[in-house]
């Protein structure tokens, strides 16, 4: 992996991780267009730079993370379903990750759903994440399990889960951001452990690439989160629906054209 490739991937991660457009789908497009061989370190890199995105959430909502213990309990309750499903269905998920076409279909179908989300969920009774109860948190966590299917989008699934529990758009998005912290931290920890078990510690150059990637992802995610909240509050989800449809179509075209695509 070159420095330029690392920076490009980090920018893509920062831009897409918290938007309902599937960061996995965008990593497929990016690595395919750059002709990157998907080595074990590349797989590690694409997961570990999520830590930079996590840091952006913590920095932007710093006070919220230190308001009450109940905040952490609710996140833990919401995190449990995906954690259990990830352990039990790990092999199935890995097999799905081998199909770029499957990711494209998930992106495309998800895009169609997002075209109608604003009409389906019109009741907005919960105006703050503080008002989310434990049952609602658990139900949102169940929606996160759907995102184990590559191409669905973790943020997209959890935001829809929040809307189904009568959270307004802003609150649903913020709860999705907060839930990303334990989810992505756990995914990164597991990936680091697996890499160490099979490959040992990353080399000095690899550590530098990881450091730069996380910094870039952090800075870009700060802007992406702020943009998304403002845009979502004013305009809803339709544009993201069309974008997902286009992204899915691009992957299908690249796949048909014979450009090697590897899911990360």
Please write the tens of the pLDDT for every residue from 67-80: 778 888 999 999 99
Can you list the alpha helix ranges (DSSP code H) found in 147-257?
A: 154-164, 169-199, 204-235, 238-256
The verdict on residue 223 lying in a domain is yes
Residue 9's pLDDT band, with cuts at 50, 70 and 90, is: very high
The verdict on residue 261 lying in a domain is no
Decide: 225 and 63 in contact? Cβ < 8 Å: no
- Average pLDDT for the chain: 85
The domain in which residue 153 lies consists of 3-256
The verdict on residue 127 lying in a domain is yes
The verdict on residue 238 lying in a domain is yes
The verdict on residue 152 lying in a domain is yes
- Residue 91 pLDDT greater than 70, yes or no: no
Q: Which residue has the tokens 């997002």?
A: 114
The verdict on residue 53 lying in a domain is yes
Tell me the three state secondary structure of residue 126. strand
**Cα distance between residue 106 and residue 100, in whole Å:** 10
pLDDT, mean of residues 78-89? 86
CA distances (Å), origin 249, targets 19, 27, 187, 242 = 18, 15, 28, 11
Q: Could you tell me the pTM of the whole model?
A: 0.85
Q: How many domains does the chain have?
A: 1
Task: Phi first, then psi: give them for residue 33, nearest 5 degrees.
Answer: -65, -30
Q: Which residue has the tokens 């099979």?
A: 198
**Cα distance between residue 252 and residue 259, in whole Å:** 10
The verdict on residue 68 lying in a domain is yes
Q: What is the pLDDT of residues 19-70, one digit of tens each?
A: 888 887 788 778 877 877 778 888 888 888 989 998 999 998 888 887 778 8
- Residue 98 pLDDT greater than 80, yes or no: no
The verdict on residue 263 lying in a domain is no
Which residues lie below 8 Å from residue 49, measured CB to CB, with a gap of 6+? 9, 10, 13, 210, 213, 214, 216, 217
Q: Which of 3, 30, 8, 4 is nearest to 259 (CA)?
A: 30
Helix axes of 100-114 and 154-164: crossing angle, nearest 10 degrees: 30
Q: Which of 59, 20, 64, 63 is nearest to 169 (CA)?
A: 20
Q: Which of 136, 139, 175 is nearest to 155 (CA)?
A: 175
Based on its alpha-carbon atoms, the radius of gyration of the chain, rounded to whole angstroms, reads 18
């Amino acid at each position: 992996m070159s420095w330029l490739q690392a920076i490009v991937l980090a920018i893509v991660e920062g831009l897409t991780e918290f938007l309902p457009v599937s960061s996995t789908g965008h990593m497929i497009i990016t690595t395919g267009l750059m002709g990157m061989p998907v080595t074990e370190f590349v797989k590690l890199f694409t997961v570990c730079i999520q830590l930079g995105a996590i840091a952006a959430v913590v920095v932007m909502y710093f006070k919220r993370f230190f308001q009450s213990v109940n905040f952490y309990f609710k996140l833990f309750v919401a995190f449990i379903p995906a954690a259990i499903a990830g352990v039990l269905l790990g092999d199935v998920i890995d097999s799905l990750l081998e199909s770029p076409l499957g990711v494209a279909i998930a992106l495309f179908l998800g895009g169609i759903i997002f075209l109608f989300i604003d009409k389906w969920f019109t009741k907005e009774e919960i105006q703050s994440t503080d008002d989310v109860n434990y049952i609602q948190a658990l139900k949102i966590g169940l929606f996160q399990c759907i995102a184990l299917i590559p191409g669905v989008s973790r943020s997209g699934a959890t935001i829809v889960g929040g809307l189904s529990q009568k959270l307004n758009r802003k609150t649903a998005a913020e709860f999705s951001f907060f839930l990303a912290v334990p989810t992505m931290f756990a995914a990164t920890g597991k990936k680091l452990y697996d890499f160490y078990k099979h490959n040992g510690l990353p080399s000095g150059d690899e550590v530098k690439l990881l450091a730069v990637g996380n910094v870039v992802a952090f800075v870009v995610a700060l802007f992406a989160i702020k943009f998304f909240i403002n845009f979502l509050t004013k305009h809803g989800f339709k544009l993201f629906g069309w974008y997902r449809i286009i992204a899915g179509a691009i992957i299908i075209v690249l796949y048909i054209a014979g450009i090697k695509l590897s899911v990360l």
